[in-house]
Amino acid sequence: MTDKVRYWLDLSDYDIETAIAMQKSKRYLYVGFMCHQTIEKIFKAYFTHLKNEIAPFSHSLSYLANKGGFYSEFSEDQKDFIDQIEPLNIEARYPSYKERLLKSLSKEKCQEIIFNTKKLQEWIKVKL
């Protein structure tokens, strides 16, 4: 594994731990945000692994997966999950979205998001 891949992998691991800490402290808005960050960084690790190039400067999960040529490897459930967490990066940043987003992120919903994030992250780690 190259240093560049390891860099993104380590950040992804750090971010999922942060998501779990946010869940424990009931800061649900940031659970979704950190789960998005976890997947973004594991996608950048996989992109770097496959292409041996610097990952694009983008936060779009679908863009990263398509540009990396690995979107077609995902199951329909994985694609649905990517679609679910894609907006959490943006919506957590802007006040006009925060109230609506907070209403949709219960303890149970955040547990589900963390579970699915870990599952997708591990699936990609196996490929690395």
pLDDT tens profile 49-103: 999 999 999 999 999 999 999 999 999 999 999 999 998 886 556 666 677 777 7
Q: Is the dihedral of CA 84, 90, 91, 96 positive or negative?
A: negative
Question: What pTM was estimated for this model as a whole?
Answer: 0.93
Distance CA 11, CA 15 (A): 6
Residue 48: closest CA among 6, 87, 86: 6
Q: What is the Cα–Cα distance from 50 to 8, expressed in whole angstroms?
A: 13
Which residues are within 8 A (CB) of 120 and not within 5 positions of it... i.e. 6 or more apart? 39, 42, 78, 81, 82
How many residues belong to the chain?
A: 128
pLDDT at 4: 96
- List, for residues 36-64, the tens digit of each pLDDT value: 999 999 999 999 999 999 999 999 999 99
- Residue indicated by tokens 């610097």: 54
**In the CATH scheme, what architecture does the domain 3-127 have?**
Up-down Bundle (1.20)
Domain locations in the chain as residue ranges: 3-127
How far is Cα 24 from Cα 128, in angstroms, rounded to an integer? 30
pLDDT exceeds 70 at position 19: yes
Per-residue pLDDT at 91? 58
